[in-house]
Structure 1
C-alpha cells in the first residue's frame, strides 16, 4: 500500500513534527525523506549538500522518494525540495495517497528555523533565500496538494485534527 498521507511544504512548516503526531494517532509508522537519506548515506543532509553538491543530493532524494511512495501504510513527510522535480510531481499526482501542503509565512517560520542552523540552501541571506525558494515552490506545492493547511496561527493539535479529518 502507498503512504496513508504525504506532507509537503517548506523547511520549518512542521512536516516532521505534525507527521509524527499524525502517525502516533493512527498507530502507523512515520517516515521523513530527509531522515531516510541520512540513514542510507550515513551523513547529514547539510554534509551531502556541502561535500557533494545539490545535484548529488537530489539524486539521492529522488531514489528515496520513489522507494517511500511504495512503502507500506505510513505518514510520509517530504523534504522541502523533494516535490520540485517533474518526476516527483508526476509520481505525487498519480499516487492514491492524499498530499497535504503545510503552508507557512516567512514571519512564522523565521523563529522556528532560526536561519542559522544546518540549512544548506539558506547559507547566504537566509530570509531572502527562503522567500525566493517559496516564490518558486509555492505554485508547485499548491498544484500537487489535495489539501492546503495554513499553519501560521494553528496549534499542532488543530493541524493534526485537520489532517485526520481529510484522511478519514
Structure 2
C-alpha cells in the first residue's frame, strides 16, 4: 500500500472500529483524527467545542489531518465533519484512498445513542440532527470517495472484510 487509507462517513458509521480491524488486516498502523487531536491538546472533543466552538475544532482537526497526510502510510479514521472544509477534501483525495462508510439513520442513531462524547448530538431530537447532518455531508462524502461501503446490519468484522475487498477491487482497476 503506497498511500494512506482514509475512512470518512457520519458519526456512528464505524470509522474507528472498522479502521482498527482494517489496519490489522492490512498490517498498517491505525490513527484516529479525533484521538490524535485529543492527545495533542490534552482536552476532549466536547470541551474543545465548548471553549473554541465548532470553527476552532475544525481548524485543529485540519492541522491534525495535514500532519497525518505527511506521515507514514496508515489507515486513518476521520471525524464525521472533516469533509466540510474544501482544503480537507483536497488533502484526503491527494494523499490517500478514501472509503466512505455509510449507514442509515436508524443504525447511526442506535450506534451513537450511548455515547455522550458527541457534541453535535446534544440536542432534543438527535434523529432530526443526524438526518440534517447526512443531508449536508453525504454529497461531500461521495465527492471524495474512491469506494463506498454500506455498514448497515454488518458486524465490524464483516464491514472490515467488505472494505478490504472493495479497496482491493478499486486498487486493481
TM-score range, shorter chain: over 0.9
Q: Once the 2 structures are TM-superposed, how far is the Cα of residue 56 of structure 1 from its aligned partner?
A: 0.8
| Per-residue Cα deviation, 1:73-129 (whole angstroms, up to 9, x for no partner) | 21101100112101111222222x210000011111111110661211111121111
Task: Tell me, yes or no, if the aligned pair for 1:5 and 1:98 is still in contact at 8 Å.
Answer: yes
Aligned residues: 167
Q: How do residues 99-118 of structure 1 correspond to structure 2 at under 5 angstroms?
A: 99-114=98-113, 117-118=116-117
Contact map agreement 2:8 2:79 (CA 8 A) in 1: yes
Structure 2 unaligned runs (5+)? 169-173
Any residues of structure 2 matched to 1:1-168 within 5 Å, and which?
Answer: 3-95=3-95, 97-114=96-113, 117-124=116-123, 125-168=125-168
- State the 1:55 CA deviation: 0.9
Structural RMSD (CA):
1.6
Contact 1:2–1:72 (CA under 8 A) maintained in structure 2: no
Q: CA deviation at 1:2?
A: 6.7
Shift of 1:4: 2.9
Corresponding residue for residue 171 of structure 2 = none
- Report the alpha carbon displacement of residue 14 of structure 1 after superposing the two structures with TM: 0.4
Q: TM-score, normalised by structure 1?
A: 0.92
Q: Under a length normalisation based on structure 2, what TM-score does the superposition of the two structures give?
A: 0.90
Instruction: From the two aligned structures, give the one with the greater helix fraction.
Output: 2
By how many angstroms is 1:59 displaced?
Answer: 0.8
Instruction: Tell me the distance in 2 between the aligned counterparts of 1:58 and 1:14.
Output: 20
**SS at 2:131's partner residue?**
helix
For the Cα contact (< 8 Å) 2:147–2:167, is it kept in 1? no
Taking a change above 3 Å as real, the CA distance of residues 90 and 4 of structure 1, as seen in their structure-2 partners, is closer
Q: CA deviation at 1:29?
A: 1.0
